[in-house]
Structure 1
Amino acid sequence: MDEQRFQEYCNFLMSILQAVATDDSPQSVYPLLEENLDKLDENLGQILQFWARETLPQLQPKEAEYVAKVIGKFGNLIQQLTLGNIANHLEIAIVSYQVVATVFTKSAFPQHWATTQINLGNAYLDRIKGDRAENIQEAITAYQHALEILTKSAFPQDWATTQINLGIAYKNRIKGDRAENIEEAITAYQHALEIRTKSAFPQDWAITQTNLGNAYLDRIKGDRAENIEEAITAYQHALEIRTKSAFPQDWVITQTNLGNAYLDRIKGDRAENIEEAITAYQHALEIRKKSAFHQYWAMTQNNLGAAYNKRIKGDRAENIEQAIAYYQHALEIRKKSAFPQEWARTQNNLGIAYKNRIKGDIAENIEQAITAYKNALQIHTPDNLPLDCLKTARNLGNFALENNNWQLAIEGYALAIQA
């Protein structure tokens, strides 16, 4: 970076910190950030780090604390800025919080330090750059640091919020044992519910119930049937607050999750469970219109396809026709170029539907099924997505074998073995 460009960054940094110090509202600060999106990059983070390292030790303690608070507010603002390069914004936010932690240390300012740890954890959890597994690990460490200060007895609400964050981090954790990570997430959510009661914090209670439901639905330990029951109960609790009229988007998310749980349900009548899943997904479509929420609309179409493909009630042939129609709807949005993994999963599902199809020409259905499986295998490769490749290649191999296509069966099974 040449001298002139360096000076431009320094001037911009000073103007931003001055703006935040004067009025830290988004309405005041964001216009200045939006005019200088080209400077919101890693260079700015490095210059902030350098400037803070050189300047803060020279200031009187009260002055250093004031500047650190301003830098922390700047970190919060840039972390929430949606325009420009989000990955760069998060890098700058992380640097900001690291700078703040050099002034507000654990020993001297425990509460400020804990709050900074939470902010740092949130930034690492959302971080785009760097190794995903390491970023989540950094988030967990930061939240655990915060909980050293934010105890349940001293700071109950902050403790509960941090437990939620910790639960989300463990739910997404890549390192460690997957089953244990989910147990940690469940424990954290249950801790949060000790404070986030329905009567005192209804919205927070509903969010936590949804998170808990998601964790139980993915749970590896314990009885699978019981875990799904726990998930359904949690989602139904959430819907007591997340009504269609009051919180339409949250209502949709929870309806979708509930549909997934009913589709996987082991207890109860299988036919009725599938009907419940269909009803929940159809509820979701009341809000998730194609024009406004095209990705979510496509996901719900795919879910409905899966439900109709498994449906027991109604006419079997008609159910499969419905499933095919829903998958084809999903593929209107799930293009290979834009959403390759989602496209491939829907292609695999479409292959299954054509394999089961009763209506139409048998030879044509066979060709359609093979084409769909082969489409999916363009993305579901042994190197890229081995588990998905195994499932799709096995589907292709089994289907080819059923139809005496020995060569294709060998190709499918060989690919499955490779995965």
Structure 2
Amino acid sequence: AENIEEAIAAYKQALEVYTNSAFAQYHATTLSNLGRLYQDENQFDLAYDTFVAAIETVEALRGEIVSGEEAKRKQAEEWNQLYRRMVEVCLALAKDTEAIEYIERSKTRNLVELLIKAASASQENLSSIVNSIRFTEIQNLLDNETAIIQWYIFTDCFRAFIITHNKLIIWQSKQQDLENLENWINNYLQLYGSDKPKWRSQLSDLLIQLTKILHLNQITSLVPSHCHKLILIPHRHLHLLSFHAIPLSANDSSTPEYLFDKFPGGVSYAPSCQLLRFTQFKAKKLNDSQLNQQSHLFAIQNPTNDLDFTDIEVETIAANFQPHQILKHHQATKTALTAQPTNQNLANSQWLHFSCHGYFNFSLPLKSGLQLADAVISKIPAYSNSSRYLRVDDEKIIDLDKCLTLEDIFQFDLNNCRLVCLSACETGFIDFNNDSDEYIGLASGFIRAGAANIISSLWAVSDFHTALLMIKFYELLPNYQYNMPLALNHTQQWLRQANQTQIIYWLQGLDKMELVKKQQIIDYLDKQYKPEQQPFKKPEFWAAFCAISPVLGNRPLA
């Protein structure tokens, strides 16, 4: 106790030298250390006041950084622990709504600032939409039927913050739950990375385990019964999980209840409440404009010409949109995509559909992307920049300069875009290794570009199953007033329960699909499945795709 008192005195003396005006970085570090000491001694009021001052200094320092987003990301990593401790102190003081506000202040900072910068460049008044968000503003995003479950991982537990229009409920795990979750995540990712066939065979069992580890039944029971719509805001590696497809009934039932079955109004995802506010603003703006009188589709179709069912998928979907432009097979090059008038058509389109190979580059996340034509090479040229190339397997190397990378997407202007549908593998992956709480993935690029809704995948998907899922999704969109997550949820629910006979019957009724293509799919179904079998029964075939969306119903297109 005597040493602690001396330490507190020493920190206070240090602050007389390390002043905010003369040594701002040291000032923030000393305040942070002093606040930690107060917190560890349960002097929470003093810890709160000290952390307030530290965060003010840190955010002022961030505003002075002029060297770019990477420097800001590193600064966010450096100070992330300060925000986490502030959240803990707020909870200890029963300042629950402030805790959520500080969570928001620590998340997706770079992306929020890029949105402000883009808004300023286009003279669009978005600054109030993407600045720090207050808890009352979060609640105002929600109608009486919608709830948010926001996750946050601490050092000794994880918490679920259940937010409704007029209520806040906080659920807290035990430390053992956190350890079990970390072990589960490590096993899940290791298995996925090293042995995908084994991962696929174990996915259903893994999701059942996750139900228990996350106590999902208990948490979802806390959501008020009148809330039929759910927005999930994961944290760190939780962004990699298909929460909507986690079974709430962990039994051997042929039709288990999954999380999204409990919310018939739709389940969607958001990186943060600030970005949820942005996508709501964009969706409302598109609804209020005359853009909903148009239905221009731009699509990338099978650039590598090795996806057997992708051509059927894109051409069937495109038949529902006029006008539409498709870059098909060898035409879908990086050069063609950036040339006029194609680039202008891309920017003006309300619907973007990319049906191709996708990849996530864990070494260089900004080099993650979508594979275009002519990107595959046999060997890396001598004396070349190694960051330009990505080895996919023993035989395949991709030239990233010929792909559509996250860096490229950040430069897009998609202010007319209602939906970006990424019908490709792993397009929902993010960089979960960084400690900055940034949301770095393909979806973040399209959010930055201005898209109101994004559909992406959380693992490597089957070309056949994806093609049927996408065709069904676009067919259902008008039926659900262009509510993207609701249409996607109903697509997944229908397909997972449909047997081979029912799927064939549905295909035969599609008037926009050519007969020869229908027969190609029917032949495949006849060969692979018996009439009573369910081709989509396993979650691996239907659960990969999720919607990053404001869960708003959009008025039908004319």
What TM-score do you get using the length of structure 2 for normalisation? 0.24
Larger radius of gyration: 1
* Structure with greater contact order relative to length (CA < 8 Å, sep ≥ 6): 2
Please state which structure has a larger fraction of its residues in helix: 1
Please state which structure has a larger fraction of its residues in strand: 2
